[in-house]
Chain A
Amino acid sequence: MGSPQHVSHVRASSSASTDVDGGGLNGNQDNLLPIANVGRIMKDVLPPQAKISKHAKEIIQECATEFVGFVTGEASERCHQERRKTINGDDICHAMRSLGLDHYADAMRGYLRRYRESEEVAAALNNNNGREIQIDVRDELSIFRSNEQRQGRN
């Protein structure tokens, strides 16, 4: 992994310091992902009897922030090479793949596709604001859905 950007890569989470504002090691939280959200996600994947130390939450907060920075740096480099100014979702997926994060790239490609589809629907709804829209919601009604599809769509 000897890409040039790695050498000049500044840690996205390099605010970890011992300043006491807000308590804990990560006093200045502005350039990190919020620890409350991080903690909630962690709690959701662990069994109920599990506990999480504050330091563990903080280190994962930094790791997740670094994850964003690391992938973004690669995506930004790609945009630069292709003379594009805007980093989009595809660039993120490609960057993940370049960095060996294939299963993330695959998962995000599907997610991105569904997101774009839903944005198209939203745009159509917004454009028709005030006028009657025909939406076929049969798909949404549980009676027409198989059991599998009904579970955990988020």
Chain B
Amino acid sequence: MRQARPYSGMFCGGVSARTGPHALPLARIKKIMKRSAGEAAAGDGGARMISGEAPVVFSKACELFIAELTRRAWAATLEGKRRTVHREDVADAVRNTDLFDFLVDVVTNDND
């Protein structure tokens, strides 16, 4: 059990919370961030630098986000008396949640 050795498994390369197992890969998150940061900063021609902690925050935040969106989609699935979550259930969840307005294009328009 972990209690006896609180930092077990993290000795190689030094101890850090950054290297711990995350639900989503930090490198990929950073890549996605750089693309968006670059676009938003197009005015001053600069890509933003991204601190090491930012992808760590997103790894957890995305986990919560996926969990929330999935649960809401599942509510739509249940309403349709089904047990398989379909794309339309996700679309319903997005449309029914004000907070997810920014996703409306993602769920309705997949032709680029």
Contact = CB atoms under 8 A, between A and B. Distances in A.
B89 A111 contact: no
B97 to A, nearest CB: 11
A60 to B, nearest CB: 6
Do most interface residues of chain A lie in helix, strand or loop, or is the interface mixed?
Answer: helix
Interface string B12-39: 0011111000011100110111011101
Interface in A57-99: 58-60, 62-77, 79-80, 85-89, 91-93, 96, 99
Given A69-B33, A87-B33, 6 more contacts: A33-B28, A52-B84, A60-B66, A64-B62, A73-B36, A86-B49
Interface of B: 3, 6-7, 14-18, 23-25, 28-29, 31-33, 35-37, 39-44, 46, 48-51, 53-54, 56-58, 60-67, 69-71, 73-74, 77, 83-87, 89-91, 94, 98-103, 105-107, 110, 112
A79 B41 CA distance: 9
Contacts of A67: 61-62, 65, 102-103
Interface of A: 1, 5, 8-17, 25, 30-34, 37-38, 40-42, 44-46, 49-53, 55-56, 58-60, 62-77, 79-80, 85-89, 91-93, 96, 99-101, 104, 107-108, 111-112, 115-116, 118-119, 121-122, 125-126, 129, 137, 140-142
A59 B91 contact: yes
Nearest to A49: B83
A12 B105 CA distance: 12
A14 B33 CA distance: 14
Contacts of A52: 84-85
A1 B98 CA distance: 12
Contacts of A80: 40-41, 43-44, 48
Contact of A66 (B44, B87, B102): B102
Nearest to B42: A8
Nearest to B33: A72
A87 B107 contact: no
B51 A8 contact: no
B78 to A, nearest CB: 9
A137 B63 CA distance: 29
A10 B37 CA distance: 11
